Structure 1
Amino acid sequence: MASCSDILRSEFPELDGEVFAYVTGILHSSGADFESVDELVEAVGELLQEVSRDGKDERAIRDVCQRLFNCLQLDEARAQRCSQVLLDAPIQLSQITDGYDASTELLPGLLLKRGQTSMVNAKKLEKAEAKLKAKQDKRMERDSVKSSGPLVLEEATASQAASKKETRMESSGKNKSYDVRIENFDVSFGERVLLAGADLNLAFGRRYGLVGRNGLGKTTLLKMIASRSLRIPSHISILHVEQEVAGDETPALQSVLECDTTRESLLREEKELTAKVNAGRGEGTEGARLSEIYAKLEEIEADKAPARASVILAGLGFNAKMQQQTTKPDLLLLDEPTNMLDVRAILWLENYLQTWQSTILVVSHDRNFLNTVATDIIHLHSQRLDTYRGDFENFMKTKEERLKNQQREYEAQQQYREHIQVFIDRFRYNANRASQVQSKLKLLEKLPELKPVDKESEVMMKFPDGFEKFSPPILQLDEVDFCYDPSHYIFRSLSVSADLESRICVVGENGAGKSTMLKILMGELAPVRGIRHAHRNLKIGYFSQHHVDQLDLNISAVELLARKFPGKTEEEYRHQLGSYGVSGELAVRPVASLSGGQKSRVAFAQMTMSCPNFYILDEPTNHLDMETIEALAKALNKFRGGIILVSHDECFIRLVCHELWVCENATVTRIEGGFDQYRDILKEQFRKEGFL
């Protein structure tokens, strides 16, 4: 294989000694730093195009750089066999020319003789050198971070224009309003500006849904409010429930009840005292204490515990310290509260939040949840916040109408400007019309500058087909028993089957065994009794609800795919990630710095890389924005293969699934009436239990 020097001499025979030595010096001393051909093009591409006498275009230069990059993949020994003198570091051009003496013989063929001019602009060399040095510094900084310990991520910051009136009212103690007004503020994450000159107004007692694309800063905004990095009057109490809280297999409603410590303590004591009395071991004081307990239970309405404020907070993951608060917060911040809740718990949460008396700001991508809970929608886009009255459906209609009006106004103004400009151009040099031309020019200056509609790019997803006809059965469980503990069986006599045309959604309370059944279907868990059958050509792609646990957060998405599927080019990895909306600098940032939705997209890219013909998806919509959820639904509908998924997102279920399995009572039941029937069943259960 030709050396780097051979490639340069062949492609650029006119290359003078100075430029040749500079480029080969870069390749020799910094070759290991180039992770992709793009970085090599950035370092020397512009310089090579400058010196190319045959006028190579950008594509031709890139082809040359690709050959150079391939050559750099060889071991160091081969690189050192280059026929020309190689430098240990990039040349400091200014130092060379300033100190050059005509008698110098140290670098023959490198320096130009006095009076001889270089064919390349010296500034081009310095510019290329500066680019390379910046890249090397960045690499050294990144390597230093990796070697020194855990990845340190950039932090979010907020700034806000001072308001003398608000500051004066705050210091005087006269501000008694519980409305939240944050005006003219900026929020950044590292060097990225998320919000610029934004305003946020929250009227006390209203429930606001905060929506927008993944990665634009919704979670960061909530954190800035919760930490009071943005000014909030000190008398307003804030409670923040973050997006990612640790969960377990305990059913959601049971977790809620157990977290009501006062109720649980009284019931426990009541049980112990009753047992003593029944066993004849009482001391004579039990009756009086039992009366006190019953009175206290009645006082706290223990039978209506799920409707208590402490209950809802517990259900959302509040810790013991938060539970000790005696009053509701004036401002409740919720970040994706439905992510880890089952359908039953979501229905209960929807009903409870509608009775909340103070202010709520909730980030959610669950369309049905927002339609039920929100009184207003705040749309984060283009580094600003726009507020709409009404639920999510009303927001969509109003936004669409607002965008149409904005575009119409912009187009009308453009036509008006063109009409005036035609007049100006026609009579610009007509002395008799000079005053009219001046008047028209002033009119143009006074016109407000309208902007065209800033349309958000469409989210695209595509699941590669792995479809081929298999003879049934494709995937089947026959009379399966399963348990982790012999005293408690998760499933008894479970029999289910699916084929390559299946579109099945599994629902049921948390802890009922949905995820366990998926793992049995995949073969990760072996039945205690019964048979699992899978076709020999079945290739399953699995998306876990805890997908973040499967990702190495300290490396980039490109590196992640390269480690999982070695042997492909960087362009192939980038193309795969780009198919799921992870493109540009997102693909090379540490995964830890991505938003929850962006991490999900990386997980999708990883899952589909091997082209499965059957997908098992456990809560795939968690953290995804609505546009991505819709794109995911479309991609699954186009996919030619089988699908079994667990989801609580009603809209997503209706878009994708044709069959509903309910996981309960140690088995799985198929509901003929689909999601409507399941929702009616849950509401009837709630009414019987007194939750509604």
Structure 2
Amino acid sequence: MLQITDLTFNAWGRKFLENASVSLPPGAKVGLVGRNGVGKTTLFKLILGELAAGGDEISLPKTARIGSVDQEHPATPFSVLDTILEADVERHTLMGRLETAPPEELGEIWARLIDIDADSAPSRASEILAGLGFGQDDQQRPMSEFSGGWRMRVALAAALFAEPDMLLLDEPTNYLDLEGALWLESRLVKYPHTALIISHDRELLNNCCTHILHLANKTMELYTGNYDTFEKTRGEKARLQLSAKAKQDTERAHLQAFVDRFKAKASKAAQAQSRMKRLAKMEPVATTIEERVAPFTLPSPPRPLAPPLIRLERANVGYETGKPILRNLNLRMDLDDRIGLLGVNGAGKSTFAKMIAGALKVSDGELHRDRKMRVGWFHQHQIEAMDPTDTPLEIIRRAMPDSTESSRRSKLAQFGLGYEKQETTVESLSGGERARLLLNMVAMDAPHVLILDEPTNHLDIDSRRALLDALNRYNGAVILITHDRSLMELVADRLWLAADGTVKPYDGDMDDYAKFVLDRAKQASVRPTQVKDETAVAAGGGGGNKNRKNNKKSGPSPSTLRHAVKKAEERMAALTAEIARIDDDLANAAINNPKSLEGLTRARGKTQTDLDAAEQAWVSAEEALAEVS
């Protein structure tokens, strides 16, 4: 499907790729992995043609359609559902042509719409939107009413709906909650074409990828299998390389010792020269060079507090105006608890985190907490709120006003920010470096409770593993909100679910929750917003009028369909008259000109085919008109 041959790319004063080659098989789901900054997004831009490679090093089939999600959809007045439907360019074009096409073309247009299953498009679009968290009412709202994060979901939904031959996804789970990530994972497994996915989500790479493309040391290598298989294969390869290098080093030392000992002796000169030639010809064995990943520093509280740390009794919490967001909370948390907080976006997870952090007070009921309890709270919006002109050194100076400069620099080095990064502005740091700085800083005071809201968004797989190790060493309580299923499974020993205006313990594990999420997504798309209200039809038409009224936006208007019916009828009348004329000519030819029978017979057959198509177009237009009238 995708062929890259001897690709070299230099930009911004550095070399990203050097003579890199790879061939992706058709239909493969390929995870593109590598350390942050190695050039994964740059490779995407090269494939899309946004950056010039310099020649024909990158090739795709001429008819291949490439799709990507590089930015959020604009805030237009059009509904979410209509926005998704427009992503199918052919269907959208054909639907538009129905308005202006001459009568003789309508049959062909309707036939093509039937071939591409255009009738089911609204249902398919609605199913994708439901899986990404858009309710039926949300799908009819204009794009302008949604935040940038939700418009990114629309862009992802549009790419999945269009089903390009080559789908490029760059960290698609970063703007999804856990529920959306679980649904996307199941969707990618069934994606019918080739997909290339940049991701640091181990579960996604394991469950939906058939290949792993590893980008490192300015080259690419394709591995068959999922991420776990890639790690095992690469580990074995590194072991064999080290073994081969050790053997070569031993041989090299033996040859060099012989040369050093006998090169001055005339009787051994020939042998010494021979060994020197062998030494010169020996190619060094290439070994995998692993970059060190700095650990996270999450100091444990020096003195444990008496249990419970937190106890909620019939508590309600919300904001100053409006009804409580969460009601009737009856929960307890102890020092050794590791809580995984589940729930869709908007269910109240962030409200709950703010309450535990002390940023929100309960409006009713009781919240008991130890006065000595310290809370470290990380949330993803802290990264966005950082002053771009600030530097890590200035930030640590404010956090450690009484410390020496060397102590501050030493602390930053422990965080994984070397001397050269400490006076770099925040805007020049990578997302991973900013996240690492903030994660370490929220834990500097050895809190009794760590609240981590999407801590892994900007971390690569190795940094996520370092965070996991640090959390397992940490001896305080943890509340974890994350779309990274692997981290959730390996950290949380209890699950709480935010749903229906409250938070309660969830009786099940992550596999149970994944099944629950996917089943709920299927149920949410049972009554899709579409021209043809299938639920009403299945139920005998009862209760479908309101839906049909609301769904007119998703297809041709009644006036357009009435026009199509009229055009089809005119076309049928003209073709029927033409067949009658040909039949007369056939009758005359049988008597007066037998040689013309063959040509007339072919003409009649073609006209009959056209009439059949016109009749089918008329039937389709009549049925569609009956549904929306």
- When normalised by structure 2's length, the TM-score is 0.68
Instruction: Answer yes or no: is 1:617 the counterpart of 2:452.
Output: yes
Matched residue, 2:309: 474
Deviation by residue 1:315-362 (Cα, 9 ceiling, x = unmatched): 882667995999443432212111232232222211221232333221
Cα distance in structure 1, aligned partners of 2:265 and 2:159: 82
2: distance between equivalents of 1:448 and 1:378? 26
- Determine which of 323, 335, 351 is the counterpart of 1:500: 335
> Is the Cα contact below 8 Å between 1:521 and 1:532 reproduced in 2?
no
Q: Is the 8 A contact 1:370 1:391 kept in 2?
A: yes
Instruction: Report the Cα offset of residue 194 of structure 1.
Output: 4.1
**Aligned pairs (5 A) from 1:389-404:** 389-404=224-239
Q: Which residue of 1 aligns with 2:438?
A: 603
Measure, in 1, the Cα distance between the counterparts of 2:155 and 2:264. 81
Counterpart residue number, 2:484: 649
Report the CA distance between 1:544 and its aligned residue: 0.5
| 1:398 alignment partner, SS class | helix
CA 455–601 in structure 1, closer or farther in 2 if over 3 Å, else same = same
What is residue 407 of structure 2 aligned with on the other side? Answer: 572
Q: Which amino acid aligns with 1:603?
A: L
Q: For the structure 1 residues 364 and 320, does the alpha-carbon distance in structure 2 shift closer, same or farther, using more than 3 Å as the test?
A: closer
Choose between structure 1 and 2: higher helix proportion. 2
Matched residue, 2:120: 300
* 2:348 corresponds to: 513
Larger RCO of the pair (alpha carbons < 8 Å, separation 6+): 2
Deviation of residue 663 (structure 1)?
Answer: 0.9
Write out per-residue CA displacement over residues 207-230 of structure 1, whole angstroms, 9 at most, x where no aligned residue: 221112233333343344441333
- CA–CA distance in structure 2, aligned partners of residues 593 and 361 of structure 1: 28
Report the number of matched residues: 475
Q: Percent identity?
A: 33
Aligned residue for 1:209, secondary structure, equals strand
Q: CA deviation at 1:192?
A: 4.6
2:623 corresponds in structure 1 to none
* Contact 2:69/2:168 (<8 A) preserved: yes
Offset from partner CA, 1:218-263 (integer Å, 9 cap, x none): 3343344441333645855443324x86999xxxxxx976853579
1:210 to 23, 29, 32: 32
CA distance in 1, matches of 2:359, 2:130: 38
For the pair 1:186 / 2:21, whether they are aligned, the reply is no
Task: Find the partner of 2:380 among 545, 566, 574.
Answer: 545
- Within 5 A, what are the aligned runs for 1:423-502? 423-484=258-319, 489-502=324-337
Query: Shift of residue 495 of structure 1?
Result: 2.1
User: Does the 8 Å CA contact 2:16/2:39 hold for their aligned counterparts?
Assistant: yes
Partner of 1:61: none
Residues 659/304 of structure 1: CA separation in 2 closer, same or farther (3 Å cut): same
Q: Secondary structure at the match of 1:260?
A: helix
Write the distance in 2 (CA, Å) between the matches of 1:297 and 1:527: 53
Gaps of 5+ in 2: 88-113, 135-149, 527-629
Shift of 1:683: 4.0
Change (3 A) 1:563 1:366: same
- SS of residue in 1 equivalent to 2:27: coil
Is contact 2:31–2:211 with CA below 8 Å preserved after alignment? yes
Bigger Cα displacement from structure 2, 666-675 vs 200-209: 200-209
Residue 229 of structure 1 is matched in structure 2 by 52
Q: 1:321 to 1:635 in 2, by over 3 A?
A: closer
Distance 1:643 1:245 in 2: 33
CA distance in 2, matches of 1:316, 1:450: 50
Q: What do the CA deviations read for 1:341-387 (whole angstroms, capped 9, x no partner)?
A: 22322222112212323332211111110011212112222333222
Label 1:485 to 1:476 Cα distance change in 2 as closer, same or farther (>3 A).
same
Question: Mean alpha-carbon deviation: is it higher for 671-680 or for 627-636?
Answer: 671-680
- How far 1:627 sits from its partner (Å)? 1.5
For 1:528, what is the secondary structure of its paired residue?
strand
Task: Decide which of 78, 84, 93 is 1:260's aligned counterpart.
Answer: 84
Letter in 2 for 1:468: R
> Superposed, which structure 2 residues align to 1:407-422 within 5 Å?
407-422=242-257
Cross-structure match for 1:345: 180
2:211 is matched with which residue: 376, 380, 390? 376
Q: Quick one: distance in 1 between partners of 2:482 and 2:133?
A: 23
* Per-residue Cα deviation, 1:70-112 (whole angstroms, up to 9, x for no partner): xxxxxxxxxxxxxxxxxxxxxxxxxxxxxxxxxxxxxxxxxxx
Deviations 1:619-664 (A, max 9, x none): 1121211211111112112112221111222211122111110111
Match of 1:239 among 67, 81, 90: 67
Paired AA for residue 408 in structure 1? S
Deviation digits for residues 571-616 of structure 1 (CA, Å, limit 9, x no counterpart): 2232222223222322222222222222110111321233322211
**Distance change >3 Å, CA 240–CA 480, structure 1 → 2:** same
Q: Is this contact kept in 2: 1:259–1:311, CA < 8 A?
A: no
Secondary structure (helix, strand or coil) at the match of 1:481 reads: strand
Q: Matches of 1:193 and 1:341 in 2, distance apart?
A: 33
Kept after mapping to 2: 8 A contact 1:344/1:682: yes
C-alpha change, 1:325 and 1:385, in structure 2 (3 Å) is: closer
Q: Deviations over 1:166-188 (max 9, x none)?
A: xxxxxxxxxxxx52315231344
Instruction: Give the Å deviation of 1:458.
Output: 4.3
Would the alpha carbon gap of residues 297 and 198 (structure 1) be closer, same or farther in structure 2, given more than 3 Å must change?
closer
Distance in structure 2 (CA, Å) of the matches to 1:685 and 1:325: 20
Q: Which amino acid aligns with 1:673?
A: G
Contact preservation (8 Å) 2:189, 2:208? yes
Is the contact between residue 388 and residue 426 of structure 2 (CA under 8 Å) also seen in structure 1? yes
Distance change in 2, residues 1:258/1:628 (3 Å): farther
Match of 1:356 in 2: 191
Determine which of 417, 424, 444 is the counterpart of 1:582. Answer: 417
Aligned partners of 1:312 and 1:352 also within 8 Å: no
Q: TM-score, normalised by structure 1?
A: 0.62
Give me the whole-angstrom Cα distance separating, in 2, the residues matched to 1:615 and 1:324.
Answer: 37
In structure 2, what is the Cα distance between the partners aligned to 1:636 and 1:322? 34
Q: CA deviation at 1:487?
A: 6.6
Match of 1:670 in 2: 505
Q: Structure 1 residues 542, 327: CA separation in 2 closer, same or farther (over 3 Å shift)?
A: closer
Report the CA distance between 1:566 and its aligned residue: 2.9
CA distance in 1, matches of 2:171, 2:521: 23
- The 1-side partners of 2:72 and 2:313 are apart by 36
8 Å CA contact retained: 1:187, 1:221? no
Give the letter for the 1:299 counterpart: D
1:407: how far off? 0.9
3-state DSSP class of the match of 2:451?
A: strand
